[in-house]
Structure 1
Amino acid sequence: MAVGKSAIGQQLAQQLDVPFVDTDAVIVEAHGSIADIFANRGERAFREIEVRTVAGAVEAAEGTATVISLGGGAVLDSGTQQLISCCTVVYLECDAETVAGRITRNTGRPLLVGDAVARWTAVFAERKPVYERLADITLDVRHGSVAELGERLEAALRSYAAAKQEVEQ
């Protein structure tokens, strides 16, 4: 949460000249704000919508080079984990100090109500092992502009693809 998935994803898609899909934006367009979904229907309803949205995005992108940004909690669903196992998964590694400014001024994050930094730290501690397990590539996003991070990620993807191709031969 708040690590720059959308900005870095858009940057990478632009660099690679490929489509970009932000599943949170797709949800908002179809169902209204995430905060409203949480408030009116609950987290469980949101997660059900999220699972369907991610599945739709991954299935629509099958066979193409598409950058898809998932919400931070999307990978907690075992079905989503299986679905993205055929994709190159990137974990944008960050820490509370780096995201503090973003999360304390953004009130639209339902899981961070109250002490946003403490909540982020707790949520991240639960999710980090899943992120690490699923990731093909880990990119430290604590330092650098969005453009610099996009360049580093593109280089990491090219390196990963070359190594993967070498193994397959």
Structure 2
Amino acid sequence: MAGALEARLAASARAGEDAGTRRGLVLVGPMGAGKTTVGRALAEATGLAFVDSDDLLVQVHGPIPAFFAEHGERAFRAEEARVIEHVLSRAVPCVLASGGGAVLSPGTRSLLSRPEVAVVYLRVTEAEALRRLDSGAGRPVLAGDPAGTWSRILAERDPLYHEVADLVVDTTSDPARELAWRIVEGICPR
């Protein structure tokens, strides 16, 4: 797995080498909070490389729902934790969009508490998240009762998002670029 991750990260790492920050920026939050969209805008604003942990998992293991079905949640969370540890152990900082459930792993929460990592919790209203997620289409975990399931998952994870967060930003209504600059100002004040 490390070889595949190295290949994926090596191409983008050079973008962050001269970014002027020694901290990695990690975005956490529920499905539909905008971790990927805001993460890309944040990478552009800071000059850091952008990495999406879900994308890396897919590149290494194939579709996440299939991996989940074949190996179970425990194996998935272990792989997710290894991906995040690998990304955060690199000498070059980056913007990392984590999976919504990454905070469920005590080991991942420990990684996110390191001083060289800045964690931003992206919050969003249920209505906006479900709009962004097309009411759960393509998200097997939301099948049947998208709103109820999304709310239950958030209630379980919200304390963990707060536990690891250095900054909390609501993404419900502002454009990604504005949110990116708000994060830069909140994490890297002049």
**In which range does the TM-score fall when normalised by the shorter chain?**
0.7 to 0.9
**2:136–2:146 CA contact under 8 A, matched in 1:** no
1:167 matched residue in structure 2: none
Question: Kindly, what percent of the aligned residue pairs are identical?
Answer: 37
Residue correspondences, number: 158
2:25 matched residue in structure 1: none
- Asked if 1:107 corresponds to 2:123, the answer is no
Residue of structure 2 aligned with 1:79, choices 107, 114, 124: 107
Partners in 1 of 2:89 and 2:140 — Cα distance?
A: 28
Residue of structure 2 aligned with 1:28, choices 58, 61, 74: 58
List, as ranges, runs of 4+ consecutive aligned residues in structure 1 with deviation greater than 4 Å: none
1:47 matched residue in structure 2: 77
Greater helix share, structure number: 1
Deviations 1:103-135 (A, max 9, x none): 245533232222111101000000001111110
Q: Over aligned residue pairs, what C-alpha RMSD do you find?
A: 1.5
**2:32–2:124 CA contact under 8 A, matched in 1:** no
- Asked if 1:148 corresponds to 2:174, the answer is no
Partners in 1 of 2:93 and 2:79 — Cα distance?
A: 24
Greater strand share, structure number: 2
**Could you tell me the TM-score, scaled by structure 1's length?**
0.87
For residues 58-97 of structure 1, the aligned pairs below 5 Å read 58-60=88-90, 62=91, 64-86=92-114, 87-97=117-127
Give the letter for the 1:150 counterpart.
Answer: A
Which runs of 5 or more residues in structure 1 are unaligned?
A: 163-169
